[in-house]
Amino acid sequence: MHERLPDLLLDSCRCDPAAPLAGDPARTFGLHKGASTARLTALKSYLDEQQQLLWANRQQAVLLWLQGPDCSGKDGVIRQLFCGLNPQGVEVSNFQLPSATERAENFLARYRRRLPAPGSIGIFNRTPYEGVVGDRHDGFIQAREMAPRLAQIGEFENQLQAAGIQLLKVYLQISPTEQFKRLRKRLLTPHKHWKLSAADLQGHRQFAQYQAEWANALSANQRTEAPWYVLPADHKWLRNLLLASLLTRQFEALQQQWPTPPLPFSLAQLQQTQAT
């Protein structure tokens, strides 16, 4: 039996438009690593069953949007939560900087191409909001273009709901101190050097500016129909448990049952094959 975190705790992670990133990234809600790790194991078993039900029914899809600063754990939480699930029912899309071809089309086009099919769980590692915050920060769009793009994203989210795609939007929040520790560990660990880029150093130096830009975007598009959840991610074990609990609640709302189609043949017909 799974035991996710209670609604009151999960709802406390809903983005507050008045102060989107004001929470402490190191808070633990009074939880402890040992018990939480065992709890996560049970939740992963539940998610595995729910993914099988989703695949068996092929009616709806679940789509997770993951956003957060460098080193916040987007890759890690995907690996921890979805390892062991049926690969044919999980689709992970990692969105890096748009190519020249992608920049020539609508900024949402590349996300539309990666939407999960009915019966699948889709995971977007970085979200369409990069086309607002990232593109503005890098000078690809003007400030006046941000509001229209946010409106396009809002309409896109409505279209997902109408298409039977259940959207969960999560921002992983870490502190600059924790980001420094994780970048330092990568520098000191040879087999993690491949994860580093010059942009990581720039991002760390401009941490406060990036966070302010993301706070503005989260505040502007915090919608009841598709709310953002801001999860404290300084503690990896807590980050994993929070996201697993949110996904579990998402599946609970679907109230999935095993399909009961008419049988294509009977037990008697099967047994006849042994008699001939």
Asked if residues 161 and 167 have their Cβ atoms less than 8 Å apart, the reply is yes
Query: For residue 185, what are its two tokens?
Result: 């560990």
Residues in the chain: 276
The domains located in the chain, with CATH, are 7-275 (3.40.50.300)
- Res 216: pLDDT: 96
Asked if residues 117 and 63 have their Cβ atoms less than 8 Å apart, the reply is no
- Res 1: pLDDT: 55
- Res 276: pLDDT: 67
- pTM for the model stands at 0.95
Helix (H) or strand (E) holding 93: strand 90-94
Indicate the pairing of strand 121-125 with strand 61-67. parallel
Across the chain, which has 276 residues, the per-10-residue mean pLDDT values are 90 97 97 94 96 97 97 96 91 95 97 97 98 95 96 97 97 98 97 94 96 96 94 98 98 96 95 86
CA distance 37 to 129: 31
Q: What share of the chain is helix, strand, coil (3-state, %, to 5)?
A: 55, 10, 35
C-alpha separations of 124 from 7, 93, 94, 137, 161 in Å:
24, 5, 6, 21, 16
Asked if residues 105 and 136 have their Cβ atoms less than 8 Å apart, the reply is no
CA distance 180 to 159: 39
Of the chain, the end-to-end C-alpha distance in Å amounts to 45
CA distance 91 to 116: 7
Asked if residues 111 and 153 have their Cβ atoms less than 8 Å apart, the reply is no
- Please, what is the angle between helix 33-57 and helix 74-82, to 10°? 70
